[in-house]
Structure 1
Amino acid sequence: MIADYTEAAVCRVDDLVDGQLKEVRVGDTDVLLARADGQFYALHPKCAHYQAPLAKGLLNGHRLICPWHNACFDVRNGHRLEAPALNGLPTHEVRIEGGQVFVRLTTDKESLENPMVAPDPSTEETYVIVGGGGAGAFAVEGLREGGFIGKIVMLTASQEAPYDRPNCSKDYLQGKAPDEWMPLRSDEFYKDYGIDIRTNQHVTSLDATTRQIELASGETLTYDKALICSGGKPNPLPGLDPELKGVYTLRSLHDSQKLREMGQQGKRVVIVGSSFIGLEGAMSLRKLGSDVDVVGMDDVPFAKIVGEKIGRLMQGWHEKEGIRFHLGRKIDRLEGSGAVNAVLLDNGQRLSADFVLLGLGVKPNTDFLKAIPREKDGGVKTDNYLKLADGLYAAGDIAHYPITDGTQRIEHWKVAGLQGYTAGMNMAGKEQSYSSIPFFWTNQQGKRINYVGHADHFDAIIYDGDPETDEAFLALYVLNDQIKAAAGLKRDQDIIAIRELLHAGRMPSVEDVRQGINWVDELKKA
């Protein structure tokens, strides 16, 4: 009898220890082999997010963590545990015989949806999601994973259903990512799970006492529970004439499409603001052939976040590609009759411009909320379960959530996805406390900097490797004699280990860190 499956011995039992990963071959198929608690598991070897090689990631208990963007999966069943991946990983059968590990291929799929319930059309209970970004996208899946079978309505001001927003400043803006890559899910997915996505919907009022939402169209919706994940709105340039054409922001897919059309060979663009998004935009427009000037108020880009040494390094990467910087400068005014043609700096320097890109950060988009107190920055304060009021939750850019020594608000894609998912599960009745350690990444001239933790200021920086001379390095940010955050280039496993240690409350002392730490070994300690 001829077997109708492919199976192979891939290693001996004692070839791997607990916590070890290895990519193996079964027939013509690559498979990730993992060992945890004495058990072997076989999974698809590429991350469901951007296809990163998971063998270069890290296994902490049953948590399999991607090296690039820290998506996380359960090694036992392949389920997605953390954003930015939406799907889980297919698994294969494993058996032990004669001291050898055999893997039998059981699927040829590259990713699988987490288990979700189907909607019940007879159920009238209605949950509303205000916002169609990362938090909203993960929230609707959290609702169905959590067992909610009622109606789900997503209201988004965008022209599109949820899409891969981080790519808008990177490959998509450069013309390297086609349109079909951008949607997070297909229209069929949302239809199958009964998720009613209403685009071009502007919410003018949400009253937490009456549980009513008013739209600019005049329609009023009543909700049983709602999640506010309305994101941020770009900060304006003070004194800007609203009628002046040729001034853009980079916040949406539509913005990216417009800038891609504008930023062709020889076009002159001035970017106001030296933020991460501003410089990712500068990078991408330069790759399109634009002539790029960057104006920033800080003397060194990103110095307040990653320190001056790394900030200067990143500035140098851009300068090598022909991007010019004007730092420690303010905008005096934009010039042009009807459309911008120049930017005048506060030192009198005049920069010619075919168009201007504003990268001045965002503030929480919460003006429409009624009966909900707001923080000084416009955000809203949640409890540990991301709850604002009875039947009302918040996630993403607008949410101040509790931490050990106060609250914090984070504006990053992975954080938004994790919070949206947690809020969705809690709305479905699961009562999961949100306690994740923040993580973000940025691509600056093809070099990915990963950052974990949060330090809006710091007393000192401990370097492992020299950013000025080494190809790979870590920077650890110290506040009040504690490691609060870390940034790294080509130190993916270390960044993962640091995040897991921060989450577990097991971060080594500053003194020990100064003596030198093997972060992966530190994580493996009991």
Structure 2
Amino acid sequence: MIADYTEAAVCHVDDMVDGELKEVRVGDTDVLLARADGQYYALYPKCSHYQGPLVKGLLHGNRLVCPWHNACFDVRTGHRLEAPALNGLPTHEVRIENNQVFVRLTTDKDSLENPLAALDDENTQTYVIVGGGGAGAFAAEGMREASFTGKIIMLTESQEGPYDRPNCSKDYLQGKAPDEWMPLRPADFYQDYGIEVRTSQRVVSLDPANKRIELASGETIQYDQALICPGGKPNELSVPGVELRGIYTLRSLHDSQILRELGQAGKRVVVVGSSFIGVEGAMSLRKLGSEVHIVGREEVPFEKNLGEKIGRLMQSWHEKEGIRFHLGRQVQRFDGDGVVNAVILDNGERILADFVLLGLGVKPQTDFLKGVTLDKDGGVNTNEFLQVTDGLFAAGDVARHPMPDGPQRIEHWKVAGQQGHVAGLNMARLGSGEPSQKAEPEPYRMAPFFWTNQQGKRINYVGHADKFDDIIYDGDPEKDEAFLALYVRGGIIKAAAGLKRDQDIIAIRELMQEGRMPAAESIREGFDWVQELKKS
């Protein structure tokens, strides 16, 4: 009898130790082999987010972390544990015979979502998500993962359902990512799980005391639990001429589509603001063939976040590609007859422009909230479970949540997705079923993670340091090679940034989350972060 499966011996039972990853071949298929707690596991070898090579990531206990964007999976089941991945990893059957490890191919490469509950028409509860970005998408799935079977309504001002927003300033803007890549899920996914995605819906009022939402259309919705995750709205620039046509922001898929068309025509563009999204947008427009100028108030781009050395390095990457910087400068006015044609700086310099991109950051979009005290920046304060008040939760750009160093509000895609997931789980656990049947809520304690792609180079950043008094370097940023930068305040490492140091960044994030970060002084003479993590 001929076997209808493919199987192969891939190693001796003692060839690998706990925490080790190895890519092996079974027939014509690449497989990731992992060992954790004395057991072998076999999985699809690429991250379900952007197909990052998981063998170059890190295995900590049962947590398998992708090197590129720190998506996390349970190595035992393949289930997705953390954003930005939505799908888990297919697994293969493993057996031990005569001290040999055999892997049998038991799935194809198509990954699957985590187990989700279905809509039950007899459940009369309604959960509403205000916002259709990453936080909203992960929240809806978190609710279903936690076995909520009632109605889920997602309200978004966007013309589209949840999509891959970080790509709007990168490959999509460059014309390298087709439209079909952008949705996080196909429309039938939301239909299958009873998640009603309502696009082009603007919320004008949310009253948590009465659990009522009012839309711009005049419609009102009563809810049992609500999550606010509307994201941010672009900061404005109050100078003469800002009302001229041809001045854009980059916040949505629609914005990216417009800018892509303009950029392909080889126009002259001035980007106002040297923020991450502003510089990424400038990079992408330059790749389309536009002549690009960046105007920034800072003397060095990203100096406040990453320090002068790394800021100057990143600036040099863009200058080599023909982008011109005007730093330490502000816009005095925009000139044009109905349509912008020039940007005038505070030193009198005149830069010709066919269009302008404003990249000045965002502020929380929370004007619709009633009876909720907002932070001075417009953010919403939550408890450790991301709960604002009874029946109301917050996630993403608007959420200011407690952390060991004090409340933080972080504007990053992975943070938004993971907060949305945790909030969705907690809404279901705290709001569904009889009190005796409710599961314990899950505190949100993830160390913040951020990545930026600049001229084909990816810098990963973990932690949060809005201020620092010292930077410890492992490697030299001025030589444009692999390096690690550790941001220190009061003798404590608050954050780290790395280029081509993916495993170190993962190890630092895991140590931060476990409260095991070493003192800054102990690592000045060199340090093995992965080995430090393995001491647990």
- State whether structure 2 residue 395 is matched by structure 1 residue 395: yes
User: Amino acid of the residue matched to residue 379 of structure 1?
Assistant: G
TM-score normalised to structure 1 length: 0.99
Secondary structure at 1:14 match in 2: coil
Q: Tell me, in whole angstroms, the C-alpha distance in 1 between the residues paired with 2:16 and 2:215.
A: 58
Give 1:208 deviation, angstroms. 0.8
Give the structure 1 partner of residue 150 of structure 2: 150
Give the structure 2 partner of residue 83 of structure 1: 83
Q: Tell me, in whole angstroms, the C-alpha distance in 2 between the residues paired with 1:193 and 1:416.
A: 22
Give the structure 2 partner of residue 455 of structure 1: 465
The answer to whether the Cα contact below 8 Å between 1:44 and 1:110 also exists between their aligned partners in 2 is: no
Q: Tell me, in whole angstroms, the C-alpha distance in 2 between the residues paired with 1:39 and 1:265.
A: 56
Secondary structure at 1:254 match in 2: helix
1:497 equivalent among 479, 495, 507: 507
Residue pairs, 1:321-470, within 5 angstroms: 321-429=321-429, 430=439, 431-470=441-480
- State whether structure 2 residue 521 is matched by structure 1 residue 511: yes
Give 1:351 deviation, angstroms. 0.2
Give 1:240 deviation, angstroms. 5.0
Give 1:469 deviation, angstroms. 1.1
Secondary structure at 2:266 match in 1: coil
The answer to whether the Cα contact below 8 Å between 1:48 and 1:110 also exists between their aligned partners in 2 is: no
Q: Tell me, in whole angstroms, the C-alpha distance in 2 between the residues paired with 1:186 and 1:404.
A: 38
Secondary structure at 1:348 match in 2: coil
Q: Tell me, in whole angstroms, the C-alpha distance in 2 between the residues paired with 1:189 and 1:505.
A: 38
Give the structure 1 partner of residue 229 of structure 2: 229
- State whether structure 2 residue 203 is matched by structure 1 residue 203: yes
Distance 1:413 1:240, change over 3 A: farther
The answer to whether the Cα contact below 8 Å between 1:142 and 1:421 also exists between their aligned partners in 2 is: yes
Give 1:475 deviation, angstroms. 0.2
Q: Tell me, in whole angstroms, the C-alpha distance in 2 between the residues paired with 1:99 and 1:243.
A: 73
User: Amino acid of the residue matched to residue 534 of structure 2?
Assistant: K
Residue pairs, 1:139-288, within 5 angstroms: 139-241=139-241, 243-288=243-288
Distance 1:19 1:332, change over 3 A: same
Give the structure 1 partner of residue 96 of structure 2: 96
Q: Tell me, in whole angstroms, the C-alpha distance in 2 between the residues paired with 1:289 and 1:122.
A: 57
Deviations 1:441-491 (Å, cap 9, x if unpaired)? 000011000000000010100000000115200000001100010000000
Structure 1 unaligned regions, length at least 5: none
Give the structure 1 partner of residue 27 of structure 2: 27
User: Amino acid of the residue matched to residue 514 of structure 1?
Assistant: R
User: Amino acid of the residue matched to residue 416 of structure 2?
Assistant: A
Give 1:116 deviation, angstroms. 0.5
Give 1:404 deviation, angstroms. 1.3
User: Amino acid of the residue matched to residue 170 of structure 2?
Assistant: K
- State whether structure 2 residue 8 is matched by structure 1 residue 8: yes
Structure 2 unaligned regions, length at least 5: 430-438
Deviations 1:67-119 (Å, cap 9, x if unpaired)? 00000000000000000000000100000111110000000133111000011
The answer to whether the Cα contact below 8 Å between 1:472 and 1:490 also exists between their aligned partners in 2 is: yes
Q: Tell me, in whole angstroms, the C-alpha distance in 2 between the residues paired with 1:262 and 1:501.
A: 45
Secondary structure at 1:428 match in 2: helix
Moved more, 234-243 or 329-338: 234-243
The answer to whether the Cα contact below 8 Å between 2:132 and 2:155 also exists between their aligned partners in 1 is: yes
Q: Tell me, in whole angstroms, the C-alpha distance in 1 between the residues paired with 2:522 and 2:7.
A: 47
Q: Tell me, in whole angstroms, the C-alpha distance in 2 between the residues paired with 1:137 and 1:90.
A: 22
Aligned length: 526
Deviations 1:3-28 (Å, cap 9, x if unpaired)? 11100000111110000000000000
Q: Percent identity at matched positions?
A: 75
The answer to whether the Cα contact below 8 Å between 1:331 and 1:345 also exists between their aligned partners in 2 is: yes
User: Amino acid of the residue matched to residue 483 of structure 1?
Assistant: I
Give the structure 2 partner of residue 473 of structure 1: 483
Give the aligned CA root-mean-square deviation in angstroms.
0.8
Give 1:405 deviation, angstroms. 2.6
The answer to whether the Cα contact below 8 Å between 2:283 and 2:455 also exists between their aligned partners in 1 is: yes
Give the structure 1 partner of residue 50 of structure 2: 50
The answer to whether the Cα contact below 8 Å between 1:131 and 1:157 also exists between their aligned partners in 2 is: yes
Secondary structure at 1:226 match in 2: strand
Give 1:266 deviation, angstroms. 2.9
Give 1:122 deviation, angstroms. 2.2
Give 1:509 deviation, angstroms. 1.4
Deviations 1:49-84 (Å, cap 9, x if unpaired)? 000010000000000000000000000000000000
Q: Tell me, in whole angstroms, the C-alpha distance in 1 between the residues paired with 2:391 and 2:266.
A: 53
The answer to whether the Cα contact below 8 Å between 1:7 and 1:102 also exists between their aligned partners in 2 is: yes
Secondary structure at 1:372 match in 2: coil
Distance 1:328 1:242, change over 3 A: closer
Q: Tell me, in whole angstroms, the C-alpha distance in 1 between the residues paired with 2:58 and 2:405.
A: 29
Q: Tell me, in whole angstroms, the C-alpha distance in 1 between the residues paired with 2:265 and 2:147.
A: 52
Distance 1:471 1:242, change over 3 A: closer
Q: Tell me, in whole angstroms, the C-alpha distance in 2 between the residues paired with 1:23 and 1:164.
A: 29
The answer to whether the Cα contact below 8 Å between 2:297 and 2:330 also exists between their aligned partners in 1 is: yes
Q: Tell me, in whole angstroms, the C-alpha distance in 2 between the residues paired with 1:265 and 1:169.
A: 17
TM-score normalised to structure 2 length: 0.97
- State whether structure 2 residue 308 is matched by structure 1 residue 308: yes
Q: Tell me, in whole angstroms, the C-alpha distance in 1 between the residues paired with 2:85 and 2:203.
A: 29
Give 1:239 deviation, angstroms. 2.6
Q: Tell me, in whole angstroms, the C-alpha distance in 1 between the residues paired with 2:353 and 2:486.
A: 39
Secondary structure at 1:230 match in 2: coil
Q: Tell me, in whole angstroms, the C-alpha distance in 1 between the residues paired with 2:236 and 2:79.
A: 41
Moved more, 376-385 or 105-114: 105-114
Moved more, 261-270 or 25-34: 261-270
Secondary structure at 1:148 match in 2: coil
